[in-house]
């Protein structure tokens, strides 16, 4: 009887090298994009006290009701949760370290989040987000800047077809007026609601608007609209955001049913959506959450932010035919014979000193089998060292790809010229 294999947890995926190299490139793009707007990185714990999420996200939400991986620390009995999103932890950290006591902050983080959902394409139990938060700014200018940041990133990633949906949630007093009307409306149509909606009818009726159940869409469409309950200040903020977007030539659609899955939002909410990923089409979502800092025990401070789903964006890049694998190493180093191998080890280090990436053949074998591996590696060059070369203090440089010369061209080069030869070939090729 063979030992049973252990599999990864359902909905939690391994990212294998072909993909992970691309994730690295993606993350580099993200970092330089965020830096270009003055955002600074934060690294936060993956486990937080459970009450943090209950307080921040709200008890009557999908996340807190049924999606959190919560457990009790067996050593001290503390209730803990694998973070389902990053804003709560970010705000906790900002308060804990008094980060906004002196000045407003633009911050970001990225990493895994955990939600116990039904796994499907674009929806996983461990997934990754890039989270972007601005704390201490209250005007519509920062909301608009954050929205426009998205547009720039889609350009940087070569993505088209991502459209912007916008809404405002006003302030809680304004929502209260709307809430009463909404409850009355849904009560009149209670036979058309599902169990989730009926349960939320009195605790969180706004969230019914966010339902994904297709059978509810018609009744939702007829629901009273929050915008009719907004006062002058909320409307001015909303107009301010739209003005900047229009000035920037950024198209958007106002979607009155956009209420977002979390409770902490007010005023601006937005989503970037594509129809190229099937049902899971929201790649980026965010908005303003002015009450959260105070709700988590800090001195009141306005804030807004957004989070992007990394898996969905990477799927979109692949779907758009973008490059999803990173280039291979520059050189595969083939060598045989004791002296040749010692020289090869020196040559490999010398090339790396010059910034050339080298895959050093390990494990011996014939020249022929090593050359096969060199070809399969994707390297642009093979550097070949046998006894002949070792005696002459030379290497054979062979073009495996059409870099500068035709593939399969080869020549002998002295050991101290090989880095230059390779660099020149690469430059010629990049210029051609």
Binding site for ligand ATP (CB under 6 A): 85, 115, 117, 122-124, 127, 129, 261, 282-283, 285, 307, 309, 311-312
Question: Is residue 186 within 8 Å of 208, Cβ to Cβ?
Answer: yes
CB of 318 to ligand ATP, least distance (A): 15
Residue nearest to Mg ion (CB): 261
Structure letter (DSSP) for residue 120: B
Which is closer to ligand ATP, CB of 67 or CB of 389? 67
Decide which of ligand ATP, Mg ion, none touches 171; Cβ closer than 5 to 8 Å per partner kind: none
Decide which of ligand ATP, Mg ion, none touches 405; Cβ closer than 5 to 8 Å per partner kind: none
Question: Is residue 186 within 8 Å of 223, Cβ to Cβ?
Answer: yes
CB of 252 to ligand ATP, least distance (A): 17
Question: Is residue 408 within 8 Å of 402, Cβ to Cβ?
Answer: no
CB of 99 to ligand ATP, least distance (A): 23
CB of 383 to ligand ATP, least distance (A): 43
The residues, ordered by sequence, that sit 6+ positions from 137 with a Cβ below 8 Å of its Cβ are: 104, 302, 303, 304
Instruction: List the beta bridge partners of residue 383.
Output: 333, 397
Decide which of ligand ATP, Mg ion, none touches 129; Cβ closer than 5 to 8 Å per partner kind: ligand ATP
The region of 85-93, 209-217, 260-268, 301-309 touching Mg ion under the rule CB under 5 A is 260-268
Decide which of Mg ion, ligand ATP, none touches 274; Cβ closer than 5 to 8 Å per partner kind: none
CB of 229 to ligand ATP, least distance (A): 23
Decide which of ligand ATP, Mg ion, none touches 124; Cβ closer than 5 to 8 Å per partner kind: ligand ATP
Number of residues that bind Mg ion (CB under 5 A): 1
Question: Is residue 425 within 8 Å of 403, Cβ to Cβ?
Answer: yes
Residue 140, number of CB atoms within 10 A of its CB:
22
Decide which of Mg ion, ligand ATP, none touches 285; Cβ closer than 5 to 8 Å per partner kind: ligand ATP
Strands 47-49 and 303-309: unpaired
Decide which of Mg ion, ligand ATP, none touches 282; Cβ closer than 5 to 8 Å per partner kind: ligand ATP
CB of 226 to ligand ATP, least distance (A): 18
For residues 378-391, one letter each, b for 16 or more C-beta atoms within 10 angstroms of the residue's C-beta and e for the rest, the string is ebbbbbbbbeebbe
d(CA 359, CA 334): 9
Which is closer to ligand ATP, CB of 105 or CB of 129? 129
Which is closer to Mg ion, CB of 112 or CB of 261? 261
Distance of CA 233 to the CA centre of its chain: 34
The rounded radius of gyration (Å) of the Cα atoms in the chain is 28
Question: Is residue 113 within 8 Å of 125, Cβ to Cβ?
Answer: no
Which is closer to Mg ion, CB of 39 or CB of 124? 124
CA distances, 217 to each of 152, 221, 233, 279 (Å): 32, 6, 30, 15
CB of 281 to ligand ATP, least distance (A): 8
Q: Which residues bind Mg ion (CB under 5 A)?
A: 261
């Amino acid at each position: 009887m063979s030992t049973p294999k252990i599999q990864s947890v359902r909905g939690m995926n391994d990212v294998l090298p072909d993909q992970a190299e691309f994730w690295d490139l993606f993350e580099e793009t993200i970092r330089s994009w965020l830096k270009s707007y003055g955002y600074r990185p934060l690294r936060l714990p993956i486990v937080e006290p459970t009450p943090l999420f209950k307080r921040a996200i709200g008890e009557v939400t999908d996340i807190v009701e049924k999606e959190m991986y919560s457990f009790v620390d067996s050593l001290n009995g503390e209730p803990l949760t694998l973070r389902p999103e990053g804003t709560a932890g970010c705000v906790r950290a900002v308060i804990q370290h008094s980060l906004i006591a002196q000045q407003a902050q633009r911050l970001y983080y990225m990493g895994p989040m955990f939600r116990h959902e039904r796994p499907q394409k674009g929806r996983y139990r461990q997934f990754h987000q890039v989270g972007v938060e601005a704390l201490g700014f209250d005007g519509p200018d920062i909301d608009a800047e954050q929205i426009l940041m998205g547009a720039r990133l889609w350009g940087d990633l070569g993505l088209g077809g991502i459209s912007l949906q916008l809404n405002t949630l006003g302030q809680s007093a304004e929502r209260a007026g709307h809430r009463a009307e909404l409850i009355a409306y849904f009560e009149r149509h209670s036979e058309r609601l599902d169990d989730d909606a009926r349960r939320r009818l009195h605790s969180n009726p706004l969230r019914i608007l966010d339902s994904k159940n297709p059978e509810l869409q018609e009744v939702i469409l007829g629901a009273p609209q929050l915008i009719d309950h907004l006062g002058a200040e909320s409307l001015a903020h909303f107009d301010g955001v739209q003005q900047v977007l229009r000035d920037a030539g950024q198209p958007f659609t106002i979607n009155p049913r956009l209420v977002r899955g979390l409770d902490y939002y007010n005023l601006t909410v937005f989503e970037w959506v594509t129809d190229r990923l099937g049902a899971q089409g929201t790649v980026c979502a965010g908005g303003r959450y002015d009450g959260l800092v105070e709700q988590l025990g800090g001195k009141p401070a306005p804030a807004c932010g957004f989070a992007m789903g990394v898996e969905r964006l990477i799927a979109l890049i692949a779907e758009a035919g973008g490059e999803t694998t990173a280039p291979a190493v520059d050189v595969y180093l083939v060598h045989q014979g004791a002296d040749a191998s010692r020289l090869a080890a020196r040559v490999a280090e010398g090339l790396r000193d010059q910034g050339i990436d080298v895959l050093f053949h390990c494990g011996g074998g014939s020249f022929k089998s090593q050359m096969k591996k060199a070809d399969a590696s994707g390297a642009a060059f093979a550097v070949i060292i046998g006894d002949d070369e070792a005696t002459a203090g030379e290497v054979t440089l062979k073009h495996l790809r059409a870099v500068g010369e035709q593939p399969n061209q080869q020549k002998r080069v002295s050991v101290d010229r090989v880095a230059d030869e390779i660099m020149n070939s690469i430059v010629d090729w990049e210029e051609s």
